[in-house]
């Protein structure tokens, strides 16, 4: 069984931990580093050890995977004390931190996996894209995949440069969907609906459509066509959304902007 050292147990780290334990990872095989006293109190008894800092990790706890779930802005401080775990695979879920960044701080020859999950991981419906450096063997890759699958789907890429676009599409993507709900509800209110009803309709429509797509084997295009009667109300709306100034060019621009920003943050 994989032994896991989890550095950081915020929303994403906590969601992952819940998923691991529910999927059968033994509590004795998990050690959590959590600086917050309240956070440590909440975790007491759930795992083998909960400590305030990397220096406090018991010397008898030898992890197979070190999961880096701290915020990117504090990674510089969190990483050095973890470097002593030389035989572990380092699995990062921190946005913007490249494999090269970790190699420069952990030293040559370290096994490193960079991943980008998204917030639906909180309900185990996320998707994570991962990329590994050449020092990650088959067993390490399988261990990381199993840990990430605890909160949703996993896809692997071989080219790390793709991670900027991944961040723009799936990492930032939930915000685009939430904005769609906001805009749809606002449009409904402008059309005369009570604001609370408009929001209820928008939320249920977007979440229900997502569930329909998840369960269907049909491509999104087919599902769209299935709901569009020629000359009907949906067709009238889609004529606007699918115009040259409609949704597609806006999303192209949005994803391009997010991709550029991801590259800037990575340095």
Task: Note the pTM of the prediction, 2 decimals.
Answer: 0.92
For the chain, residues with pLDDT lower than 50 are none
pLDDT tens readout for residues 130-171: 999 999 999 999 999 999 999 999 999 999 999 999 999 999
Going by C-alpha positions, the residue among 264, 58, 31, 79 that lies closest to residue 167 is 264
Return all residues near 11 (Cβ < 8 A) that are at least 6 apart: 119, 122
Domains belonging to the chain, first-starting first, are: 4-163 (3.40.50.720), 171-266 (1.10.3730.10)
Going by C-alpha positions, the residue among 220, 215, 188, 214 that lies closest to residue 202 is 188
């Amino acid at each position: 069984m994989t032994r896991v050292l989890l550095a950081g147990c915020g929303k994403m780290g906590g969601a992952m931990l819940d998923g691991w334990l529910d999927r059968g990872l033994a509590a004795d095989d998990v050690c959590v580093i959590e600086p917050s006293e309240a956070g440590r109190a909440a975790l007491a008894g759930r795992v083998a050890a909960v400590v305030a800092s990397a220096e406090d990790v018991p010397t008898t706890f030898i992890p197979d995977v070190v999961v880096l779930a701290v915020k990117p802005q504090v990674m510089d401080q969190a990483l050095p004390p973890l470097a002593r775990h030389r035989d572990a695979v380092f699995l990062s879920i921190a946005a913007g931190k490249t494999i090269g960044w970790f190699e420069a701080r952990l030293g040559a020859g370290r096994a490193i996996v960079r991943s980008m999950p998204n917030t639906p991981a909180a309900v185990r419906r996320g998707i994570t894209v991962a990329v590994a450096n050449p020092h990650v063997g088959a067993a390490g890759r399988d261990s990381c995949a199993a840990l990430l699958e605890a909160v949703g789907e996993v896809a692997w890429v071989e080219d790390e440069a793709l991670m900027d676009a991944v961040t723009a599409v799936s990492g930032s993507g939930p915000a685009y969907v939430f904005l769609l709900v906001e805009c749809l509800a606002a449009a409904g209110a402008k059309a005369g609906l009570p604001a609370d009803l408009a929001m209820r309709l928008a939320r249920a429509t977007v979440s229900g459509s997502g569930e329909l797509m998840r369960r269907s084997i049909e491509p999104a295009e087919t599902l769209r066509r299935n709901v569009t009667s020629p000359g009907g109300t949906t067709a009238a709306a889609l004529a606007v959304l699918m115009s040259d100034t409609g949704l597609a060019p806006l999303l192209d621009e949005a994803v391009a902007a997010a991709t550029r920003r991801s590259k800037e943050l990575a340095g």
